[in-house]
Amino acid sequence: MDNLNFGIIGNCRTAALISNKGSIEWCCMPCFNSSSVFAKIIDRDKGGSFEIITGKSYKILQEYIKKTNILVTKFMNRDSCFELIDLMPRYSEGISDYYAPPDIIRYIKYISGKPKFKIKYEPKLEYAKYPTKTVIEKNYIKSFTTKGDYDSLYLYTNLDKEKVINGEYITISEDAFFVISYNQKILDQNLDRAYLNLQRTKVYWLNWAERTKRFIRYNDEILRSALVLKLLSYDKSGAIIAAATTSLPETIGEIRNWDYRFCWIRDASMVIKVLNSLGHFNVARRYM
C-alpha cells in the first residue's frame, strides 16, 4: 500500500477514502452498499482512482478542518502552495430534512505562486468488472459502462476538461473545483455553488460537534472518533454500518473477508451506546 494512510469523508449516505497524497481510492455510489466507482485500495492496477499528482518538490500535509468531516490536503514547495478540500455535502434543509446527495466536492484553494499538477481521473464503475468509458460533454465529463449493468458518473469542473482527462499539467492562479456526482445536475455547477456547499457542510459538522459531550482529557480524539461514527450512520434507516469498505481480508487468502458496509447488530449496538453517552440521543432513536 506504499505506506499510505487514509482519511474518510461522507454524508451519512455514502463515504470515500482519501489517501494522505490526496487520492480518492475507495468510494461507492450512490449509497454505502452500491458498487464501487473508485477501488484502488483493493486493486491498484484496475480499481480506479482520482489523483492529484504534483512534482517531487511538493511537500504534502493532510488534516481535517477542526470539528468536521472535511479533509484538507495541502501541497506546497518553495514557490507555490494550494489546498485540496474534500467533502460530501450535508446540511439542513428544514427542521428534520438534510441535503445529502451522492456527490464529492473537491475544492482547490489557491494560496500562492504558480501551483502545477496533473489529474489522474479514472473511475471504474460496477467494481471494474467491465471497462468504463469516459467522454467530454458540453458541461461535464461523463463516465459510463458499455457492457453489463449500465452505470454512469458525472464530473463537473471549471478547469480545462481535455487536460483533466488526458492527464496534462494544469497551472492555477485562482480557486478551482470538481464535483463528482452520481446524478446529472439540473443547476449550473460553478465555483460559487461549490464554495457555498463547502461552507454549509462545515456549519453542519460544527453544529453536530458542538452538541457532543466534552471531556477534560482526550477530548479531540474522542470527538474525531465520534464524527467518524456519525458519518457511518445511514440517513434513510438509522442503521450504523460497520465500516465503509469491503473485500479487505484480515489475512490474505484466509476466510475472514467480510462486507462491512451493512449493519452488524453487535457492532452497531456498541456504536449506539457510545454516541448516546456523548449526548446524541436522536441517533439511538433513529436506530431503534
- 123/253 same-domain check: no
Q: What is the pLDDT of residues 86-138, one digit of tens each?
A: 999 999 987 668 999 999 999 999 999 999 999 999 999 999 999 999 999 99
Torsion of CA 192, 198, 204, 209, to 10 degrees: -150
Do 95 and 232 belong together in one domain?
Answer: no
Phi, psi for 83 (deg, rounded to 5): -120, 145
CATH no. for residue 42?
2.70.98.50
Q: What is the pTM of this model?
A: 0.94
Domain count for the chain:
2
* Shared-domain flag, residues 241 and 272: yes
- Band (1; pLDDT cuts 50, 70, 90): very low
Judge whether 1 lies within some domain. Answer: no
| C-alpha closest to that of 179 among 227, 232, 108 | 108
Looking at the predicted structure, is the pLDDT value of residue 173 above 50? yes
Specify the pLDDT at position 251. 80
So what's the pLDDT on residue 95?
66
- Residue 102 shares a structural domain with residue 220: no
Q: Which residue has the cell 467494481?
A: 127
**Model confidence pLDDT, tens digit, residues 2-34:** 667 999 999 999 999 999 999 999 999 999 999
Q: Among 123, 103, 119, 126, which Cα is nearest to 9's?
A: 103
Total Cβ atoms within 10 A of residue 279: 13
Q: Which stretches within the chain are classed as H helix?
A: 161-166, 191-210, 219-231, 265-277, 281-287
pLDDT of the residue at 248: 76
Check pLDDT > 60 for residue 167.
yes
Range of the domain at 118: 6-210
User: Radius of gyration of the chain from Cα atoms?
Assistant: 19
